[in-house]
Chain A
């Protein structure tokens, strides 16, 4: 993608790299509120990376569409008559009007409400009113189809990018991204539960992403959910048994991990024995994953009970039950979309229990999520004051105490108590993405997940 010259000039490579110091864990607060930085993020992160669009179960039939976003570019994700999934920029080539104003539905074609230009489900311009009478036949429809994003999918999850140079999705995701999507499918093939919760929080999108790696806030921020008896935080937190997995291009997983010896015991159990143990466990305990999960997630990934983030903005939570997409809406505004995934073969009562947990934990009325938004918006607000924004965010927890283990398949992970390793990995990758002028530059100038002490 071409860069907006002025912004890239104002924030040259050295200035961008200086915004986060991995050696001290200090982050410049301006990354949360500066308009020029935000514009550069739209180009160098969102337009460049692979963005989650939707799941295949949302597009069952030709004509089924779902509106999504690549940064602030609104796109139509639609299945065409040939069964292919297209991601089309939702802007008429004539005057730019949005073709589709609904958020999902079924269409035979997309007709612009302004002058009636008509586009096929694959984006071809198939009708222009007055083509002969007014345009005198001078319009070349073949050159005026809807702009298309590149589309790729993994395990039924559709992604799109605006950058022709982006690596294939499989390579982009790397082991950590694929573990994250594998987590969603760990109990079997999934489909999206009807209803995607959407709400807007006055925070920078990175404050929300930072928070998903943050198991330090859980006990304090969410104390009232414990007091109210919604869930026993002490039982899910495992503050000393945490595992952070580091992936290429900024993907990471952070949160509770199953110790290796405990996983070895699980590995010896049949699927039926695992289910029986899960049923006997207290409510809201993580359900033990079946054998097949190890194929999807690998021997290290399957030990994670934490939160994957697929860089930049796709959080996977509740053991893979939900995904939360954090869509940027300006430096100080983020739209959150909650997708809930249910195993197709699960009995109805199991699905009801899973949906109940999703409904009551997260989303704007969720007993956990309610308390996050205000912390995030107030943290963002404080990055705008002249004096406040100079203070720097402290992201130093566990710095120098994390020993990176290299797994048999090259997995890089850190086990130990709660730390801010995941957040440091996020911001380190963020500076690399922001400093690189294009994919070739990013491929050359990014740190692969390291070994040794972090």
Chain B
């Protein structure tokens, strides 16, 4: 059992890491964002379905099923390369994004890995009049390395079932 001051310190470190990460994405500093990722990262957004209460076991697709994102580090690097290619038309002019992270709760500390749940709200303004709001629950696994963390796993549970946007060319 860790002491309250230790818990507060960990909560502070985790939150500061998540805020710094969000700031990098909003500043379009993708290379620096890639530096925060563990080599074995799994970045995953399952498909959500509108189902009745009796079918709630079908609400999300399972790991290994189809997904919106099911990426390893190589895929995420490709997404960044694409954003920086100069020919990713869906992001040129670039979108304006704001990554909000809240309700941060540390679910588990196991060795050097910390499982963190948070709510996210990703706002995207695009061209002159397009707006997207992607809201959901996120479960991240942060791995302690030296004085900071690496993101080892990110699972994104979006609240929309039909995605109400032209694309998801923004990194969550």
Q: Which residues of A contact B (CB under 8 A)?
A: 101-106, 193-202, 221, 223-225, 227-230, 335, 338, 340, 352, 355-356, 358-360, 363-365, 367, 369-371, 373-375, 377
Contacts and interface: CB of A to CB of B under 8 A. Distances in A.
Contact of A104 (B49, B75, B163): B49
Interface stretch (B16-24, B78-86, B116-124): B78-86
A352 B65 CA distance: 9
Contacts of A375: 89
B75 A360 contact: yes
Contact of A365 (B58, B69, B164): B69
A335 B67 CA distance: 17
B167 A224 contact: no
A99 B65 CA distance: 29
B130 to A, nearest CB: 8
Nearest to A201: B166
A436 B121 CA distance: 49
B79 A367 contact: yes
Contact of B66 (A224, A228, A355): A355
Contacts of B161: 103, 198
B68 A367 contact: no
B55 A359 contact: no
A31 B156 CA distance: 39
A212 B49 CA distance: 27
A147 B115 CA distance: 51
A200 B50 contact: no
B88 interface: yes
B87 to A, nearest CB: 4
B51 interface: yes
Given A195-B65, A227-B87, A374 B55 contact: no
Contacts of B50: 101-103
Contacts of A225: 82
Interface string B40-71: 00000111011110110010011011111111
Contacts of B66: 193-197, 338, 340, 355, 358-359
Contacts of B86: 224, 227
A322 B75 CA distance: 20
B70 to A, nearest CB: 5
How big is chain B's contact interface, by range? 35 or more
A356 B44 CA distance: 12
A195 B163 CA distance: 13
Contacts of B46: 195
B163 A105 contact: no
Contacts of B168: 199, 364-365, 370
B83 to A, nearest CB: 8
Contacts of B67: 195, 359
Nearest to B172: A365
A199 B85 contact: no
B163 A199 contact: yes
A374 B167 CA distance: 8
B51 A103 contact: yes
B145 interface: no
Contact of A223 (B47, B65, B85): B85
Nearest to A230: B78
A377 B65 CA distance: 30
Contacts of A196: 47, 66
A202 B130 CA distance: 10
B7 interface: no
Contact of A228 (B45, B85, B162, B166): B85
B103 interface: no
A200 B162 CA distance: 7
A229 B65 CA distance: 24
B55 A105 contact: yes
B169 interface: yes
A373 B166 contact: yes
